[in-house]
Amino acid sequence: MNFLAPWFLLGALAVAGPVVFHLIRRSVRERTAFSSILFLRPVPPRATRRRKLEHILLLLLRCLALVLLAMGFARPFFPKSGASSPPPGPGRQTVILIDTSASMRRAGLWPKALAVAGQYLDKATPGDRAAVLTFDQQVRSVVSFAEWLSWPPDQRAALAKQKLAAVSPRWSGTVLGQALTEAAELFPEDKSGDSSARVVALISDLQEGANLDGLQGHEWPKNVGVQVERIDPAKPGNAGLEIVDASGAASGDERQARVRVTNARDSNRESFALAWDTGDASPAPIYLPPGQTRTFSAPPLPDGVTTGALRLRGDEEDFDNTTWFAVPETERVAVAYFGSESANDPQQLRYYLERAFPETGRRKVEVVSVLSNSILDVGTLNRASLAVVPARLTAEESAALRPWVAGGKTELRVMTNTLMEATDAPLEVSEAAGDYALLGNVDFTHPIFAPFADPRFSDFSRIHFWKHRILKFPANSPVRALAKFDDGSPALAQIPGGKGNILLLASGWNPADSQLALSTKFVPLMQTILDWSGGAAPARAQFQIGEPLPAPASPGDPVHWTKPDGKSVDQAAGAPFTGTDLPGIYSAMAGSRTNRFAVNLPLDESRTAPMSPDDLGRLGVPLQSAPRIPAAATAGTQRILARAELENRQKVWRWLIAGLLGVALVEIWLGGWLARRVANLEVSS
Partner 1 sequence: MAPATSSNPTGSARDRGHADPRVLMALRSLELRARVVVEGFWNGLHRSPYHGFSVEFTEYRHYTPGDDTRYLDWRLYARSDRYYLKKFEDETNLRCHLLVDQSRSMDYGSLTYSKAEYVRTLAATLAWFLHAQGDAVGLVTFDERVRDYLPPRHRKGHLRRLMVALERRAEGRTTNVGEPLRRIAELARKRGLIVLASDLLTPLDELERNLGRLTVAGHEVVLMQVLDPNELAFDFHQASLYQDMESRQDVYLDPEKARADYQRRLAEHGRGAEAICQRLGAEFHRVVTDRPLELALADFLRGRSRRNKLIRRRAPARASP
Give the footprint of partner 1 on this chain (CB under 8 A). Answer: 27-46
CA-derived radius of gyration, the chain: 41
Do the beta carbons of residue 328 and residue 297 sit within 8 Å? no
Quote the least distance from Cβ 56 to partner 1, whole Å: 24
Distance CA 662, CA 65 (A): 9
Distance CA 429, CA 247 (A): 46
Quote the least distance from Cβ 55 to partner 1, whole Å: 19
Quote the least distance from Cβ 12 to partner 1, whole Å: 34
Distance CA 556, CA 534 (A): 10
Under the phi-then-psi rule, with left for phi > 0, alpha for psi from -120 to 50, and beta for the rest, what region is 534? left
Of 262, 266, 268, 233, nearest in space to 104 by CA: 233
Quote the least distance from Cβ 6 to partner 1, whole Å: 44
Quote the least distance from Cβ 25 to partner 1, whole Å: 9
Q: What are the contacts of 150-154 at 24+ separation with CB within 8 A?
A: 153/126, 154/126
Dihedral (CA of 484, 490, 492, 493) sign: positive
Quote the least distance from Cβ 48 to partner 1, whole Å: 10
**Residues paired with 504 in a beta bridge:** 413, 493
The angle at the Cα of 504, spanning 501 to 509, to the nearest 5 degrees, equals: 130
Query: Helix axis angle, 56-73 relative to 652-684, nearest 10°?
Result: 160
Do the beta carbons of residue 384 and residue 336 sit within 8 Å? yes
Distance CA 423, CA 495 (A): 8
Do the beta carbons of residue 164 and residue 142 sit within 8 Å? yes
- How many CA atoms does the CB half-sphere of 42 hold within 13 Å? 1
Distance CA 224, CA 222 (A): 6
Residue 70's SS3 state is helix
For residue 236, the one-letter residue type is P
Distance CA 296, CA 49 (A): 86
Strands 371-372 and 363-369: unpaired
Alpha helices per DSSP H over 313-389? 349-355, 378-383
Under the phi-then-psi rule, with left for phi > 0, alpha for psi from -120 to 50, and beta for the rest, what region is 4? alpha
Quote the least distance from Cβ 40 to partner 1, whole Å: 5
Do the beta carbons of residue 312 and residue 241 sit within 8 Å? yes
Of 388, 426, 425, 427, nearest in space to 404 by CA: 388
User: 44 vs 304, which CB is nearer to partner 1?
Assistant: 44
Do the beta carbons of residue 237 and residue 253 sit within 8 Å? no
CA distances from 591 to 336, 556, 560, 568, 580 (A): 20, 9, 9, 15, 22
Quote the least distance from Cβ 32 to partner 1, whole Å: 5
Buried b (16+ CB within 10 A) or exposed e, 316-328: ebebbbbbbbbbb
User: 33 vs 631, which CB is nearer to partner 1?
Assistant: 33
For residue 542, the one-letter residue type is Q
User: 146 vs 681, which CB is nearer to partner 1?
Assistant: 681
User: 31 vs 456, which CB is nearer to partner 1?
Assistant: 31
> Which residues fall within 8 angstroms of residue 18, CB to CB, at 6 or more apart?
59, 62, 63, 66
Max CA pair span of the chain: 147
Quote the least distance from Cβ 11 to partner 1, whole Å: 34
Quote the least distance from Cβ 682 to partner 1, whole Å: 10
Quote the least distance from Cβ 19 to partner 1, whole Å: 23
Quote the least distance from Cβ 685 to partner 1, whole Å: 11
Quote the least distance from Cβ 45 to partner 1, whole Å: 4
Quote the least distance from Cβ 49 to partner 1, whole Å: 15
Quote the least distance from Cβ 47 to partner 1, whole Å: 10
